[in-house]
Amino acid sequence: MNAVFQKRRTRIGLLTLTLTALFIVAVARLIVLMTFDGPRLSSLANSEHTGELQLAAVRGPIIDRNGQPLALSAETRSVYAHPRELLASSTPAQRERLAAALGISNAELDRRLYHSAPFVWLARRLSPAIALQAETLGLDGVGALVEYKRFYPESNLAAAVVGMAGLDGQGLSGVELGFDRLIRGEPVKLRIYHDALGHPILDSPLALRNPQPGARVELTIDAGIQSLAENRLAREVAASGAKAGSAIVLDPWSGEVVALANVSAGAAGPHDRLHNPAIQDAFEPGSTMKALLASIALQDHVIDTTRRIWCEDGRFHFNRVTIHDDSPHGWLALPDIIEVSSNIGAAKIALALGADRYSRGLRAFGIGSRTGIDLPGEAYGLLRKESSWREVDLADHGFGQGIAVTPIQLAVAYAAIANGGLIMRPYVVKAVYGADNTPIMVDRPQVLRRVISPAIAHQVNLLLRNVVNGANGTAHRAQVDGFEVAGKTGTAQMVNPATGAYFQNRLVASFVGFLPANDPRLVILVVLYDVGHGHFGGLVAAPVFSSIATGAVRQLDIAAPHTPGVESASIIPIDLLQRVSSLAGKDAIANTNSDALFAPTTSEIPGFGGLSLRQALALAHQHGLNLEVKGSGWVIEQKPAPGSRPGANLVKLTLADRLSPAHPEKKASRRKPEHSMPRRTPAHRRAR
């Protein structure tokens, strides 16, 4: 009996120990699960019973400055399925009809349905009529949701500016990308609950809230001028055999981009919206750089408009290299160098300036840096550090070789010459408005810095008029009936990327100018890439400028200027007065690093020297003065002198429209006099 009892006690003890050990193991395992694996298992459980998808909001429209839509969103329906429920409740014949309604193959439908996910898209952004065909089949596990599809009612008009939005409503390029946060609105995340069998339970409160629509973006682009620029540019690309072309129309006083066109010789495609050559590609500007060179040299008092330079009869040898002019020239003053586009004259001026001053001046004009335009992906261009320049580089840079600029950089630089010396930040978005039409953002003109004085800008303005109107000018085809045009041609050889040398028969031809010359309202740049030999800027780019300018002044109702008489000289249209006043206002000049365009109001007579008539009238209005005007153009003399007391509040101004005549060109002589510029110029390339 004792032995039996002892055995029983032993078995009970072992069982108790075993159960205790198992309990300890279970508790330990529970602790491990709760402590270490709890979050993972909880998430896994939630994923088994819930799903989530994001419904994109309707993207806001993009319109031009006149309200014409360039990008809109249309309502579509996207068909989805719960694969397990659909496969369990439908026959192969029913699924075949579903595939036919959606416009996909049976194999593609099966590929999407035999999927482990509880939710799959069958087709997205269908027209409501097509989606209705699928919905009316009445299959369990099939449903549809409203989505929005982006479309562009004007096709490829301003494609690179507007950009592109992706399938899921995100911006990919252009304004669509740069302002995506505002345009896309506020999407809604829809949480879908389903039971153990996968049946959806759409009882989430989020399902009852609609996405908030995106903001409306108003551009500075004028669709009419944009269309004109694209069409005229496309015709010239085809006629000249160019690979591509760009054109920019810019308001020099505000920095507003009125048109920005890019055309390629190939077929149109998505690349036209994804890439913007006018701000993302750089080219060697050729002789268009000579206007900047002249501005810098005049500002630094290296040369004046009467000093003559020996231009070597068209061939200038240095260190076994040669600079060529297209025509032989002897003695030329600065106005003649610009008019005939002498590379030799430009190279000698650059050498006289020196690398430090020339580089500093170019950087002040914005060469080698971004302009700050409100589009993504802007390039810097190319301007190497002056410490690395050799004399051959300095001479090359004088006529625009060895430097690379983006089209927008060059247009902004010429706008500074047109507006009296101010670098303006260019922009394409004028304003952004919320769904309730309240303004979210309104852009305004921003002066970045002063680069040259108004007097120097006026001198260069006059030099550039001779390029278009002078007897020996290279841009007669840029003329516009009823308007005086100022501008410069450019023709530069393209670089062979494989060898680093220049192609002999592949050129970039350009023209950039502004009008009316005595009251600039538009700066227009035209660039044709990769044209053949003989296609100079004055022959192929200048006519495009003329066509765009002719249409633009008509579209914007810019009247041909006239010279006012004394009795009407103090009268200025109110819209022009407002433009000038806003440009000279506190906000506009907050970022300038030198003198403002207009002096502040004082009890003394301000200085009018170098101002246009429009600017002088605005300044006189600001100081409560009356003007008596003689001549036209820009102010060269005033009485009483600046700083005098107003007296009778009358200021007499003398305006001039021409530079003092240079010394007449004499017969070429190979002897270099003592006052000529240095002969050390080793460049051998051509640029016009």
Mean of pLDDT values over 505-510 = 93
Mean of pLDDT values over 367-382 = 96
Euclidean distance between CA atoms 523 and 423, whole angstroms: 13
pLDDT of the residue at 570: 34
Using pLDDT thresholds of 50, 70 and 90, give the confidence band for residue 15. Answer: confident
Q: Which residue has the higher pLDDT, 218 or 47?
A: 218
What is the pTM assigned to this prediction? 0.74
Residue type, 110: D
Using pLDDT thresholds of 50, 70 and 90, give the confidence band for residue 120. Answer: confident
Using pLDDT thresholds of 50, 70 and 90, give the confidence band for residue 200. Answer: low
Tell me how far apart the 2 most distant CA atoms of the chain are, in Å.
Answer: 147
pLDDT of the residue at 527: 97
* Domains of the chain: residue spans and CATH: 52-218 (3.90.1310.10), 223-266+280-535+542-555 (3.40.710.10), 566-656 (no CATH)
Residue type, 270: P
Using pLDDT thresholds of 50, 70 and 90, give the confidence band for residue 42. Answer: low
Between CA 538 and CA 449, with CA 300 as vertex, the angle to 5 degrees is: 80
Q: Which residue has the higher pLDDT, 203 or 386?
A: 386
Mean of pLDDT values over 509-516 = 96
Using pLDDT thresholds of 50, 70 and 90, give the confidence band for residue 45. Answer: low
pLDDT of the residue at 324: 87
Residues 6+ apart with CB under 8 A from 633: 458, 462, 518, 612, 613, 655, 656, 657, 658
Q: Which of 10-19, 22-31, 678-687 has the lowest mean pLDDT?
A: 678-687
Mean pLDDT is highest, among 34-48, 177-191, 375-389, 551-565, for 375-389
pLDDT of the residue at 191: 61
pLDDT of the residue at 209: 55
Peptide bond into 335 cis (omega under 30): no
The pLDDT of residue 172 is above 50: yes
pLDDT of the residue at 270: 84
The pLDDT of residue 382 is above 60: yes
Euclidean distance between CA atoms 497 and 360, whole angstroms: 28
> For residue 321, what is the enclosing H or E element?
strand 321-324
pLDDT of the residue at 210: 63
Mean of pLDDT values over 128-138 = 84
pLDDT of the residue at 626: 77
Q: Which of 60-64, 557-561, 578-582 has the lowest mean pLDDT?
A: 578-582
> For residue 146, what is the enclosing H or E element?
strand 142-151
The pLDDT of residue 277 is above 90: yes
Using pLDDT thresholds of 50, 70 and 90, give the confidence band for residue 677. Answer: very low
Closest CA to 529 of 270, 328, 237: 237
pLDDT of the residue at 13: 79
Q: Which of 84-98, 225-239, 288-302, 415-429 has the lowest mean pLDDT?
A: 84-98
- What average pLDDT does the structure give for the chain? 82
The pLDDT of residue 569 is above 50: no
Q: Which of 46-55, 496-505, 548-557, 592-601 has the lowest mean pLDDT?
A: 592-601
pLDDT tens figures, 615-658: 777 788 777 787 878 877 777 788 888 777 766 678 888 877 53
Euclidean distance between CA atoms 322 and 311, whole angstroms: 12
Q: Which of 139-153, 325-339, 466-480, 512-526 has the lowest mean pLDDT?
A: 139-153
Burial class (CB in 10 A: 0-12, 13-18, 19+), 307: middle
The pLDDT of residue 662 is above 50: no
Q: Are 408 and 248 in contact (CB under 8 A)?
A: yes
Q: Which residue has the higher pLDDT, 186 or 434?
A: 434
The pLDDT of residue 681 is above 60: no
Annotated catalytic residue, options 73, 287, 342, 359:
287
pLDDT tens figures, 470-482: 999 999 999 999 9
Known catalytic residue at 116: no
650 Rama sector, left if φ>0, alpha if ψ -120 to 50, beta otherwise: beta
Peptide bond into 516 cis (omega under 30): yes
**pLDDT more than 90, % of the chain:** 49
Closest CA to 271 of 172, 350, 195: 172
pLDDT of the residue at 652: 86
pLDDT of the residue at 663: 37
pLDDT of the residue at 74: 85
Burial class (CB in 10 A: 0-12, 13-18, 19+), 108: middle
pLDDT tens figures, 321-347: 788 888 899 999 999 999 999 999 999
Using pLDDT thresholds of 50, 70 and 90, give the confidence band for residue 601. Answer: very low
pLDDT of the residue at 111: 84
Torsion of the alpha carbons at 457, 462, 464 and 469, rounded to the nearest 10: 160
